[in-house]
Chains A and B, each alone.
Chain A
């Protein structure tokens, strides 16, 4: 067994990190919670207690927040599934040990290295919805190469515009997802596949009954990582949509309320709701994966 002195030493080694996290994460969240229960509006801090009023207003009586919830779903679903599918397909393609694998891998991975502050404008141009003589961006490109049927009005599409914001988001993260899957695929011993082939299974059956189930933990991690990213999306929306009401998200609403409108109480309440939705997604996953690890 470890002796006491060393265990104490170990504890002191992580203590600074624990303290930093306690202040910079939980302390600041605590401050935000406190503000969210107040009617603070304007530049002077005002800690008049209003209880859950800000939350109740947002959840029951705020059309903009309802738009935000809808938009979050409309963005998250195509983003998460698009990224997972493209990531999986590219990982499967690359797992065959093709010539040029390293090249493709780096190429697919690089978008995650670049922030939307850099690519935002390019994406806004690419997804320009103008038609006729003013047609440009992807639409113009598609028309030039005879793929007119792919033309779309992107984020200007009534009702569904938000879903198109997923395109640049998929662009950024599908490479990361590919890397996760590729790591997962490489961890599957070749013997398992060989054994199945000997048993007469075809490639598709092997994929469906052996590989896919073995990749389930990777899928789960990717799902959680992508899911929480999509809830927090901020830069991308600002870069592409500005402050368009039709393309609003809770993170934008929070920023707008806090820093443009100086309604700190409501802004803090939006933050906390955002945090709670992230927590609902993350905490069960954290418990699950730590338990599973303990069983090993």
Chain B
């Protein structure tokens, strides 16, 4: 029964790896539970003298408006961006127009640009089209810079679906859009999950676009979090508590939907 003993032994590295993955979160939560005079790098592993959720309450109060902005941004932008990606992917996989084979790699390459380098023309352009300062403008930017990854994911998924299915529908007289809606869309759920999670995380964690493209009342949670740490003197306990709160939504998404994410990847998406 060596194989079953090997299976048993597999838990050792898995548990060690789990410690590695949890360590920074543990530090954040532990520090978040301490009072300011107990916070010091030297004593970072010590348990707090008494557990107090006060820092989390303070942090939540500070972050509340920003959290709300993030929610208003992230939900529509990830949904719109998946729909757009799905339509693009459909066309590029099943309705290749002339030049589609050039357009697709050109779109894809957009995934790889370093965003810091295009900030100045971006802000200038958003001013010109009058979308600077608000959440809709930021949403547009997230959707546009999401086009490469969302298109890729859906295109690869649709490419794996037999052409016969589409051809048969065409013979039955179905139009392009109807084929999408009635045949491909219903089986695209795995890819939608992958793209939604991906775009949700991207937009939630984004700092750069939010800080340069929105005015102060529309800042998202990462900007709020960064501002908390911006004083000359930083209250690390509140900062760590706030970090944990800011990470919570994405954390929950991954913990609860992580298995669909992997399932979606197995279904042919994100194969690159």
- Interface residues, chain A, CB within 8 Å of chain B? 2, 6-11, 13-14, 17-18, 20-21, 23-29, 31-32, 86, 89-90, 93-94, 96, 98, 102, 104-115, 117-119, 121-123, 125-126, 128, 130, 134, 136-137, 140-141, 144, 168, 171, 175, 179-180, 182-183, 186-187, 217-218, 220-221, 224-225, 228, 231-232, 234-235, 251, 254-255, 258, 264, 267-268, 271-272, 274-275, 278-279, 282-283, 286-287, 289-290, 293
Contacts and interface: CB of A to CB of B under 8 A. Distances in A.
Interface stretch (B6-14, B51-59, B65-73): B6-14
Contacts of B168: none
A183 B24 CA distance: 27
B176 A10 contact: yes
B253 interface: yes
11 contacts: A89-B13, A115-B205, A117-B205, A119-B25, A119-B243, A122-B25, A171-B24, A254-B117, A258-B120, A278-B113, A286-B108
B99 to A, nearest CB: 9
Nearest to A8: B97
A95 B145 CA distance: 34
A10 B45 contact: no
B91 A10 contact: yes
A29 B118 contact: yes
Contact of A175 (B21, B206, B253): B21
Contacts of A123: 24
A278 B258 contact: no
A126 B254 contact: no
A47 B132 CA distance: 25
A32 B121 contact: yes
Contacts of B24: 119, 122-123, 126, 168, 171
Contacts of A20: 144, 147
B17 A90 contact: yes
B106 A21 contact: yes
Contacts of B139: none
Interface of B: 7, 10-11, 13-14, 17-18, 20-25, 27-28, 31, 41-45, 84, 87-88, 91-92, 95, 97, 101, 103-110, 112-114, 116-118, 120-122, 125, 141, 144-145, 147-148, 151, 159, 170, 175-177, 201, 205-207, 222, 225-226, 229, 236, 239-240, 243-244, 246-247, 250-251, 253-255, 258-259, 261-262, 265-266, 270-272
B262 A98 contact: no
Contact of A235 (B14, B207, B247, B250): B207
A93 B205 CA distance: 30
Contact of A106 (B147, B222, B258, B271): B258
A177 to B, nearest CB: 12
SS class of chain A's interface: helix, strand, loop or mixed? helix
Contacts of A234: 114, 116
B107 A286 contact: no
Contacts of B14: 90, 93-94, 98, 104
B208 to A, nearest CB: 8
In the A-B complex, the 4 residue pairs with the smallest Cβ-Cβ separation, listed nearest first, are A271-B117, A221-B272, A10-B95, A115-B205
B13 A93 contact: yes
B92 A14 contact: yes
Contact of B114 (A98, A114, A232): A232
Given A2-B170, A17-B147, A137-B41, 16 more contacts: A6-B95, A10-B95, A25-B110, A93-B10, A98-B14, A107-B18, A109-B254, A109-B258, A110-B255, A117-B205, A180-B265, A183-B262, A183-B270, A254-B116, A271-B114, A282-B112
A115 B207 contact: yes
Contacts of B20: 171
Contact of B117 (A21, A86, A128, A275): A275
Given A7-B95, A108-B21, A275-B114, A113 B247 contact: yes
Contact of A290 (B25, B44, B95, B101): B101
Contact of B266 (A17, A106, A137, A186): A186
B87 A114 contact: no
Contacts of B222: 115, 117
B230 to A, nearest CB: 12
